[in-house]
Amino acid sequence: MADKPEYVPGLAGVPAARSSVCLINGAEGKLQYRGYPIEQLAEKCTYEQVAYMLLFGEFATDDELKAFEAELARERSLKFRIIDVLKNLPERGHPMDALTAAVASMGMFYPGDHVEDLEFRRLSAVRLVAKLPTVVAAWHRIRQGDNPIEPRADLGHAANFLYMLHGEEPDELTAKIMDVALILHAEHSMNASTFTARVTGSTLADPYAAVASAIGSLAGPLHGGANERVLSLLETIPDSKPENVRRWAEDKLARKEKIMGFGHRVYKAKDPRATVLQGLVGQLFEKFGSSPIYGVATELEKQMEQLVGHKGIYPNVDFYSGIVYEKMGIPIDLFTPVFAIARVAGWLAHLLEQLQDNRIFRPSQIWVGEADRTVP
């Protein structure tokens, strides 16, 4: 009898797909999208170029990129009934729940013949990449009692999001930093929310349902939800003074409490995205002045390396992103929705790849209960 596969908690290290979308070297802290190093993508590309490359496998030609950008711009607006859905949600609800609700409803407005229709798949992917930023910005305006701001076709993806959020065009540096942050968060192989998208898509559910389920997965504090918790955690360090960091960290670790923004299932070195985000912090501070919390954050990184570096626990993507977003005037509870408007490209890249050679996910289990019992 062939050996039964062993149970692996959290499927750690268990391959769930054959993929060419994203390669991570966790030991060395290296990340590549379709073989391109993240540092080069962050430096040389726009989010639109990276999203196209993730979705369709290669960088667009100039003409293809122009057509893609124009289609994204055309597809940014929302049906008025989706705005009505947002207007009827409780204002104090979490933005990730609003995003889930709006995206789940999209499938009703854009029904397709079937997800096996290649044009329906492609257009659904473009619409989701285009519309998620509009949903997040619209929700933020509506919950404050304001009308949403219509998207502008003359702004890039990142700049348009900030315009719809704040009601004014971002300066060039802020728009560029938003664009880099979206690139850094666009894709990350078989993380929980991407796996969720693949599982839902493997049933041939429509792309809107697959993305809505991925958003729900990303919202969890152990995954994308960590970024909004990092800042509030740093603010619990007594007097926000670096000299109090060591004792604070030792107490947390002694109580086996997870310190948000640290650790990773795959990286056992510093997350390369954290390093790029740290560079962005420096640019923002030069322009807008520094934040004391950054000194506390860098001291915590230093102390954590001494305390748990030997266990492979280093800063992950969520550790510095909050400092960047706060400096850009993004409300803390929108940090994870910003993660979602970036990662939608990665979710869809994996969904399209799954559908190219699909088999519905249905793992097994190890039975630990009783059987053949009699109802009393």
Q: What tokens does 232 get?
A: 């509030």
3-state helix, strand, coil in the chain (%, to 5): 60, 5, 35
DSSP 265-326: SS-SS--HHHHHHHHHHHHHHHHH---HHHHHHHHHHHHHHHHHGGGT--B-HHHHHHHHHH
Residue nearer to ligand SDX on the CB measure, 22 or 178:
22
Minimum distance from residue 24 beta carbon to ligand SDX (Å): 7
Of residues 38 and 209, the one with the C-beta less far from ligand SDX: 38
Long-range contacts of 23-28 (CB under 8 A, 24+ apart): 23/189, 24/188, 24/189, 24/266, 24/267, 26/264, 26/266, 26/267, 26/268, 26/269, 27/268, 27/269, 28/269
Q: How far is the CB of 111 from ligand SDX (least distance, A)?
A: 30
Distance CA 370, CA 375 (A): 13
Please confirm, yes or no, whether 264 is among the known catalytic residues: yes
Q: Is 318 a catalytic residue?
A: yes
Which of 185, 264, 271, 350 is flagged as catalytic?
264
Q: Residue count of the chain, please give it.
A: 376
- Smallest gap from Cβ 116 to ligand SDX, in A, equals 28
Q: Which residues of 156-165 are buried (b: 16+ CB within 10 A; e: fewer)?
A: bbbbbbbbbb
E strand or H helix at 219:
none
> What is the closest distance, in whole angstroms, from the C-beta atom of residue 129 to ligand SDX in the complex?
17
Q: Which is nearer to ligand SDX, 163 or 335 (CB)?
A: 335
Q: How far is the CB of 309 from ligand SDX (least distance, A)?
A: 11
**Cβ closest to ligand SDX, residue 107 vs residue 263:** 263
Which residues are near ligand SDX by CB under 6 A?
A: 10, 188, 191, 222-224, 226, 253, 256, 258-265, 311, 313, 316-318
Q: Which is nearer to ligand SDX, 156 or 263 (CB)?
A: 263
Q: Catalytic residue numbers?
A: 264, 318
